[in-house]
A and B are shown apart, each in its own frame.
Chain A
Amino acid sequence: MSSAAASAAADARLSPERVLTVRDLRAYYRTNFFGMSREVRAVDGVSLHVDRDEIYGLAGESSCGKTTLIKTIVRAIRPPLDVVGGSVAFHFAGRERDIYAMSREELQSIRWRHLSYILQGSMNVLNPVRRVRQSFVDFSHRHIGKPMPEFLRLIEDHLDRVRLPPTVLDAYPHELSGGMRQRVTIALASVCRPDFIVADEPTTALDVVVQRDVLAMLREVQREIRSSMILVTHDIGVHANVTDRLGIMYAGRLVEEGPTGDVIRNPRHPYTSHLVTSLPRIGDVTPKRGLEGAPPNLAAPPEGCRFHPRCPLAIGTCRAEAPPMVDVAPGHRVACWVTAAPTAATVQ
């Protein structure tokens, strides 16, 4: 507990203005069919925070709970997903509010204006039988609270910012290329100049050239409207280019978190090391080695550290007890018995 308090103090020194604080969040998928109940612990005890004007990256392989985590953060959950513990507090307009304590009206008032969400598969968030203009009106007009002509002018200005001609407003989504659709989606999410944008794999379906372009634009928009952002992608290369801080998830838990450069240059968790060494580098001819096995079934996760069945460094403690997040450098936390606490390893 003392280490957590120390880390909080260190964080407070580094970042005066906090926008999002997630404390010990647990979200489970609970199903009950024919008397068989099942509980999938997709997010299990995640704590993190995001500061103003910061891009926080979330990485991890598929099915490690990234999307569930951010769905829970923006409260876009529906059964069987349920939040069973912890809190998600946003600091908008100088007020801290728990998103799960809000009424429906309050939630409506913060969405889009303060908090927007770029969904996974964001190329398909535009209705195929509605023109882009109508999608803008449907989704964001209610949140801006301006008369229609002014609102349409505002959209055109904003599209100009993401380098799209105003003619896209009259197009149907299928008439746009993948990159254009992605830009429209980003424009849609940022049109109300929100304080916080959550982006779930916003560039997954694009080739690397367009991806780079879209990401640069995303970053530019974020800089300009000074919002904070959580960016989810499994592509470490994207994180290296775009994010300020990086959190690595494994099996529903955060295993490492720190400034992106530190985490990539100096990974402390064995899982992070594997992710980072899988990145190709120019001139590197050493054969790449895959990690054996697959992420655990979250309905029955392994005891102790959830990574231990695949971990080359696993020791006895790993099998028995889950490691806490420990500071290893300023702002750099890791949950590992072996690499974060060398003394514990020698004792074993």
Chain B
Amino acid sequence: MLTTVRDLFRYNREFRIGALLTAFIVAFAALSFASPYPPQDTFVVPPDVPPSAAYWFGTTSRGQDVFWQLTFAIRNTMLFGLCVAILSRMISIAIGMWSGYKGGFVDRVLMSINDTFIVIPLFPLLVLFYFVMRDKMSWPLLALAMACLGWSYDARLIRSVAMSLKSREFTQQSVFSGMRTREIVLQEHLPYVLPIVFYTTMNNMNWSIGLEVTLSVLGFTNIDTPTIGVMIYWANQHTAMVAGIWWWIFFPVLFVVVLFIGLFLLAISMNEYIDPRSRLARMGGMRE
């Protein structure tokens, strides 16, 4: 495992850059545990100070240090994306593979549920969800809601792969040798599907972070938990752009973009590791 990571790091440029960017963000988020101020406290530092040696990323109009505030925000945002991605991956793998392998009636029922989720307009539904939950709204709850809404496209994708795998000779051989459905799906088909899952994981994280930022910016989430979106929300509330407090918006956006790029590069290099054929291409075996 360690040698794999080392080799990837040495030979794969995407992995190297992606790992460095993500590691940087993770390290930055880890700094939140060393923060001198609790994230909810306001007016702990002089407000509206531009970036300087004392306050690297400046301070907000609410008297918070952008640097320390950002460590909390990026940590929460990253955890949020990860939670949504993992939960929704579990649903989409289970539904996609089961539906694709079983086919027939099971497939029709699951896919009609799936298609219902595809056509539901997400954004109004999440806004509605916020108005229903109001004060009970917290980010674990929002993560759960988004996981329940974000699995359907990828379930369809995984189903289509499972359907094609089902008709391959090695599946027939597995059936003939007496493997159970669960074993066939988990041992024979899952390794084939995993690169797609990894790829969609990063996609899904980016999607959920984006949607969370959108909701937060508009104030449709719990605005007491600092996330990237909530930071921008408060900046907007204090008309930071008009007032020239650009650092309050610039740094959150910069960090979330770095996170996006890091995750994306990791995803495509993971893909290359998991699929033995693209691993061959990287070694130069298939290059003309």
Q: Is the CB of B173 within 8 A of A119?
A: yes
Q: Is the CB of B169 within 8 A of A129?
A: no
Q: Is the CB of B176 within 8 A of A129?
A: no
Q: In the complex where A124-B168, A174-B277 touch, is A130 in contact with B174 (Cβ < 8 A)?
A: no
Binds A, one of B46-54, B186-194, B245-253: B186-194
Q: Is the CB of B174 within 8 A of A117?
A: no
Q: In the complex where A138-B187, A174-B276, A174-B277 touch, is A126 in contact with B175 (Cβ < 8 A)?
A: no
A316 to chain B, nearest CB (A): 45
* A172 located at the interface, meaning its Cβ lies under 8 Å from any Cβ of chain B in the complex: yes
Q: Is the CB of B169 within 8 A of A138?
A: no
For the side of the interface on A, what is the size category?
20 to 34
A129-B178 Cα distance, complex, nearest whole Å = 20
A-B residue pair count with CB separations less than 8 angstroms: 62
Binds B, one of A21-29, A44-52, A139-147, A241-249: A139-147
Q: In the complex where A108-B178, A111-B176, A142-B178 touch, is A124 in contact with B188 (Cβ < 8 A)?
A: no
* A127 located at the interface, meaning its Cβ lies under 8 Å from any Cβ of chain B in the complex: yes
Q: In the complex where A129-B191, A172-B276 touch, is A119 in contact with B169 (Cβ < 8 A)?
A: yes
Q: In the complex where A138-B188, A174-B277 touch, is A127 in contact with B178 (Cβ < 8 A)?
A: no
Q: Is the CB of A76 within 8 A of B276?
A: no
A287-322: CB near B (< 8 Å → 1, else 0) gives 000000000000000000000000000000000000
B205 to chain A, nearest CB (A): 24
Q: In the complex where A129-B191, A138-B188, A174-B277 touch, is A124 in contact with B170 (Cβ < 8 A)?
A: yes
A295-B174 Cα distance, complex, nearest whole Å = 33
Q: In the complex where A127-B170, A138-B187 touch, is A74 in contact with B176 (Cβ < 8 A)?
A: yes
Residues of chain A in range 113-155 having any CB-CB distance to chain B below 8 Å: 117, 119-122, 124-130, 135, 138-140, 142-143
Q: Considering only CB atoms and an 8 Å cut-off, how many residues of chain B contact the other chain?
A: 20
* A196 located at the interface, meaning its Cβ lies under 8 Å from any Cβ of chain B in the complex: no
A140-B173 Cα distance, complex, nearest whole Å = 10
Residues of B within 8 A of A76 (CB): 172, 175-176
Of B173, B191, B275, B276, the residue contacting A139 (CB under 8 A) is B173
Residues of B within 8 A of A124 (CB): 168-170
Q: Is the CB of B178 within 8 A of A119?
A: no
Residues of A within 8 A of B280 (CB): 174
Of A120, A126, A127, A143, the residue contacting B177 (CB under 8 A) is A143
Q: In the complex where A108-B178, A142-B178, A174-B276 touch, is A125 in contact with B192 (Cβ < 8 A)?
A: no
Q: Which residue of the partner chain A has the closest CB to B188? A: A127
Residues of A within 8 A of B168 (CB): 124
B234 to chain A, nearest CB (A): 48
* B5 located at the interface, meaning its Cβ lies under 8 Å from any Cβ of chain A in the complex: no
List 11 additional A-B contacts (Cβ < 8 Å) besides A124-B170, A139-B179, A174-B276: A74-B176, A107-B178, A108-B178, A111-B178, A119-B173, A121-B169, A127-B170, A128-B276, A129-B276, A138-B188, A139-B174
Q: Please name 16 pairs of A and B residues whose Cβ atoms are closer than 8 Å in the assembled complex, sorted by A.
A: A74-B176, A111-B176, A111-B177, A112-B178, A117-B176, A119-B172, A119-B173, A125-B170, A127-B188, A128-B276, A128-B277, A129-B275, A138-B174, A138-B179, A138-B183, A138-B187
10 tightest CB-CB pairs across the interface, nearest first? A124-B169, A108-B178, A139-B177, A125-B173, A129-B191, A127-B170, A125-B169, A172-B276, A129-B192, A121-B169
